[in-house]
Structure 1
Amino acid sequence: MPHSADNLPDALYSAAQVRALDARLIAAGTPGFTLMSRAAHALWRLLRQRWPAAGALTVMAGGGNNAGDGYLVAELAQRAGWRVQVLALAAPAALRDDAARAYAAARDAGVKVHLWGGQAELDGVVLDALLGTGLRDAVRAPYAEAIARINTSGLPVLAVDIPSGLCADTGCVLGVAVRADVTLTLIGLKLGLFTGAGPDQVGTLLFDGLQAEPALVAEQGCSARRLSRNNLQRLPARARSTHKGQLGHVLVVGGDHGMAGAALLSAQSALRSGAGMVSLATREAHQSAAQARLPEVMAVAVASGNQLLALGARASVWVVGPGLGQQAWARSLLSVAAVSSAAQVWDADALNLLALGVVQIPAGSVVTPHPAEAARLLGITTAAVQADRPAAARALAARYQVVCVLKGVGSLVAAPGGELWLCDHGDPVMAGAGLGDVLAGLIGALRGQGLSALDAARLGVWLHARAGEYLAAQGIGLAASDLCVAIRHLLQELDVERA
């Protein structure tokens, strides 16, 4: 039975790692054709469950093992009385090994196989068995034309393992890619299905491990892991004698003229996420409004870095950057943060100033860039970051010796040693101003309550995304401050689960 999005495994693999796992299974005694047959039966069961009244199937077949899966599905549909056609972009005579055997089975069952000529009509459900996980370069003719035909057909599409044209490692569309309604990925989850353009191409994602022995799977290293309730570090339980001084003092530094809201959102988030004390270092013009908006937060007017020294000495965590700006005031404050021994979370303009070389960030900090900020930090284009988000997150973590949270679809958390975690939660309703400020304050509060930089980033990213999903049910128009209460409720749920 395929795994749904609610119970997917945690391990995420590169294309090479999945190929190695496939070879490991074969070497352990499961023939390749047996794995192909298991894939075909899983796809056929899914076809019948999802589109029980379709009665017709068009298999778009390439020249690799994905095509073999497609030919075997065509055979099963033919024997079940469906109207079946295979449109082959690779001549059947060129197929090798298990794929050739699968073609022979389909031919013997009476499946009609036609060479793709660009004119054939697609019919029923379309099974995308064109290109597999080995694709690295832009899709070329005739595959590009076939993919375009699938995408404009208006027919339901089931992708075998991965939508053709999508990079399995990065989630980048290699020129053009199939937009599937459902993708059944096999043997191991591919990292590219979850980040970059991947989530827009896969539709509903399901997984089937093809009955692989868990011990064999466990021996195969993975590229990243999904964040889930089961692998997140929870906050330490609070003793009855706990007092505010044991829960961290978060100092938010930011809010230049005209940008007070960003710093206030970070402070509010830190407060609602359990920090014992929260201070805000901001412009004098914003002090009264901050005290009126958040009376629990100690709002202090600072005119320069010198005035920040005494306030910063009392804080255990600094959240630096929301609404900071990049002028002399911002540079003065950031220079003090850069030499503080407190735990640090840098966001927004703190990252832009870091990219300019104004200061150095303390090792062990957390940075929370969006793709454009990541591009400035790496000296590349935003498009280059998005073309390989995992590589960009790892590069930032290694270059600055920090924990990097690369925000966006499939947010990534990278450690300096190369470990990578991915969050596959969140919702488009979260595309709005201020949500990054909330995330920075949340991570700061978790640091203050005893979590390591990596654990605070992992838990913070997951809580932030899950809160967005929860609020998405109420429709568009999400305000960033709405997340603060939802995050508080999620933290309570985690405490109840632990109890």
Structure 2
Amino acid sequence: MSVRYLTAKLAQQIDEQLMSAAGAFSLDQLMELAGLACAQTLAKVYSKEKYPRVLVCCGPGNQGGDGLVAARHLGMFGYQPTIWMPKPGSKDIYKRLKTQCDNMKIQTLAPTEETHSLRDALASSDVILDAIFGFSFKPPVRAPFDAALPLLSASGLPIVSVDIPSGWDVEEGNAEGVGLNPDVLISLTAPKEGVRQFTRRHFLGGRFVPKLMEEQFALNLPEYPGFDQIVELPQAKESGPQKL
């Protein structure tokens, strides 16, 4: 059986159950494992020898927390990450994750003149890690991200998106046409309905999902190889004119 793709409602339900008494995970644990999977995905596809400078774009929610964890691990892996985070999360966990990055001497772009600093950062980067919006995102894209997404798209840099490409609806995909079109996607826990037709390299990171929960929700997750935190999923075939 193929892996199950999740609706927004089901993805939220699984997240809540993971952090309930039944799942017994803390948000810190899940972010740490998710961020590690994101960093491993980028490192697998884009070597630090050819793509050392990573621009990690973080939103104010849990997606941004995953990005901060990934930035720290990428620094540990020998990359040179830079963080763009125009709207830092206000919760204590984000402040702690940011301090961990500061302690790794990872640069964070100054919060002033965001568009200008983002342009400069893009000019001196080799690859983008997109951790802006997660599966709870609903259009439209609001400031300052409405101006940022076109800059990221126009940069010509390869993009690795976390869980769902920023600007995409979790179920409808890039129906509005304003989202990023990444080269690589790392879905977390299980892939979401909106990326069912994603035709580029697609990885899954969610080795934290307990067997009981996998069976309860009939996720049909693939086996992770060895000690890897990620597994590559089959690529969807591009739809086109049918041959007669």
- TM-score, length basis structure 2: 0.81
Selected match of 1:143 from 117, 142, 145 = 145
Superposition deviation, residue 9 in structure 1: 4.5
- 2:69 corresponding residue in structure 1: 72
- 1:29 corresponding residue in structure 2: 24
Selected match of 1:167 from 161, 166, 169 = 169
Selected match of 1:18 from 11, 17, 21 = 11
Q: Which has the higher helix share?
A: 1
Q: Unpaired runs of 5+ in structure 1?
A: 1-7, 226-423, 433-478, 481-499
Q: Which amino acid aligns with 2:13?
A: A
Deviant stretches of 4+, over 4 Å: none
The separation in 2 between residues aligned to 1:425 and 1:43, in whole angstroms, is 21
Check the 8 A contact 1:158/1:184 in 2, yes or no: yes
The separation in 2 between residues aligned to 1:68 and 1:49, in whole angstroms, is 21
User: 1:47 is paired with a residue of what secondary structure?
Assistant: helix
CA separation of 1:78 and 1:209: change in aligned 2, threshold 3 A: closer
Are positions 1:156 and 2:151 aligned together? Answer: no
Q: Which amino acid aligns with 1:219?
A: Q
- 1:205 corresponding residue in structure 2: 202
Q: Which amino acid aligns with 1:85?
A: T
Check the 8 A contact 1:139/1:174 in 2, yes or no: no
User: 2:161 is paired with a residue of what secondary structure?
Assistant: strand
Structure 1 residues 21-60: aligned runs within 5 Å? 21-27=14-20, 28-52=23-47, 53=49, 54-60=51-57
Superposition deviation, residue 163 in structure 1: 0.3
Q: Which amino acid aligns with 1:78?
A: G
Superposition deviation, residue 425 in structure 1: 5.0
The separation in 2 between residues aligned to 1:426 and 1:80, in whole angstroms, is 33
Superposition deviation, residue 49 in structure 1: 1.5
Check the 8 A contact 2:162/2:186 in 1, yes or no: yes
Query: Residues 378-422 of structure 1, C-alpha deviation per residue, up to 9 Å, x if partnerless?
Result: xxxxxxxxxxxxxxxxxxxxxxxxxxxxxxxxxxxxxxxxxxxxx
Query: Residues 28-80 of structure 1, C-alpha deviation per residue, up to 9 Å, x if partnerless?
Result: 22221111111111111122211112111101111011111111111122233
Check the 8 A contact 2:3/2:190 in 1, yes or no: no
- 2:229 corresponding residue in structure 1: none
Superposition deviation, residue 139 in structure 1: 0.9
Selected match of 2:90 from 95, 99, 107 = 95
User: 2:18 is paired with a residue of what secondary structure?
Assistant: helix
Structure 1 residues 294-333: aligned runs within 5 Å? none
User: 1:163 is paired with a residue of what secondary structure?
Assistant: coil
Superposition deviation, residue 130 in structure 1: 0.8
Superposition deviation, residue 175 in structure 1: 5.2
Superposition deviation, residue 97 in structure 1: 4.3
Q: Which amino acid aligns with 1:102?
A: L
Selected match of 2:187 from 175, 185, 188 = 185
Check the 8 A contact 1:183/1:204 in 2, yes or no: yes
Superposition deviation, residue 210 in structure 1: 3.0
Query: Residues 302-358 of structure 1, C-alpha deviation per residue, up to 9 Å, x if partnerless?
Result: xxxxxxxxxxxxxxxxxxxxxxxxxxxxxxxxxxxxxxxxxxxxxxxxxxxxxxxxx
Superposition deviation, residue 98 in structure 1: 3.3
Superposition deviation, residue 214 in structure 1: 2.2
Structure 1 residues 218-237: aligned runs within 5 Å? 218-220=215-217
Superposition deviation, residue 426 in structure 1: 4.1
- TM-score, length basis structure 1: 0.41
Residue-pair matches, total: 219
Check the 8 A contact 1:87/1:113 in 2, yes or no: yes
Check the 8 A contact 1:124/1:156 in 2, yes or no: yes
Superposition deviation, residue 172 in structure 1: 3.8
Q: Which amino acid aligns with 1:12?
A: Y
The separation in 2 between residues aligned to 1:426 and 1:157, in whole angstroms, is 20
Superposition deviation, residue 88 in structure 1: 1.1
User: 2:19 is paired with a residue of what secondary structure?
Assistant: helix
Query: Residues 128-157 of structure 1, C-alpha deviation per residue, up to 9 Å, x if partnerless?
Result: 011111111211222121111111111111
CA separation of 1:141 and 1:167: change in aligned 2, threshold 3 A: same
Check the 8 A contact 1:64/1:95 in 2, yes or no: no
Return the index of the structure with the highest Cα Rg. 1
Are positions 1:117 and 2:114 aligned together? Answer: yes
- CA root-mean-square deviation: 2.3
Percent of residue pairs identical: 23
Check the 8 A contact 1:65/1:98 in 2, yes or no: no
Q: Which amino acid aligns with 2:106?
A: V
The separation in 1 between residues aligned to 2:4 and 2:77, in whole angstroms, is 36
The separation in 2 between residues aligned to 1:88 and 1:163, in whole angstroms, is 17
Q: Unpaired runs of 5+ in structure 2?
A: 221-234
CA separation of 1:9 and 1:106: change in aligned 2, threshold 3 A: farther
